[in-house]
Amino acid sequence: MTKYGDWIRENLTRRLAARDDELSKSIVALYLLCMELTVSSPAVYLDRNSADHLPQVVRCFRTHGFQEGLDWIASLEAAYGMPIHPDMDARVDHIMGSSEAQRQLEAFNDRNVTKLRTLLPAVWALLDVLVEQKLAESRY
């Protein structure tokens, strides 16, 4: 977990989500990704609004050269069967309308338990770096 969890929770809706800068959007996106994957599974993450921020997660991973995260998202997209829709309703419609997608995502969940154990600490660490950058800005 991040050492800045309390700060993120306190600022998530009031300050961070309302900001339009890349750093704030990345903090929100990574926090939601980490929280969902800590308490549920990748398939459940796709069923929730949190995954609406997945394009921002991808941008953040690219910006910070986090290839392991990009590879994991690519494998999630392969299980999904196509590029992941950016809104929850479209994702749920795709998953519910495709028994193949459901089967692949279930298999993905089973195969990636160990991978998530190594990936999540690295994502939490990246989140800490982003929060430290945000705290260094005089607005916070």
Q: What is the pLDDT along the chain (140 residues), one digit of tens a residue?
A: 667 777 777 776 566 766 778 999 999 999 999 999 999 999 999 999 999 999 999 999 999 999 999 999 999 999 999 999 999 999 999 999 999 999 999 999 988 888 888 999 999 999 999 999 988 885 65
* Predicted local confidence at residue 25, as pLDDT: 92
State whether residue 48 is helix, strand or coil.
coil
Instruction: Considering only CA atoms, give the Rg of the chain.
Output: 15
Cβ count near 120 (within 10 Å): 15
| CA neighbours closer than 13 Å in the CB half-sphere of residue 61 | 23
* Predicted local confidence at residue 12, as pLDDT: 67
For the entire predicted model, the pTM comes to 0.87
CA distance 104 to 137: 43
Cβ count near 132 (within 10 Å): 11
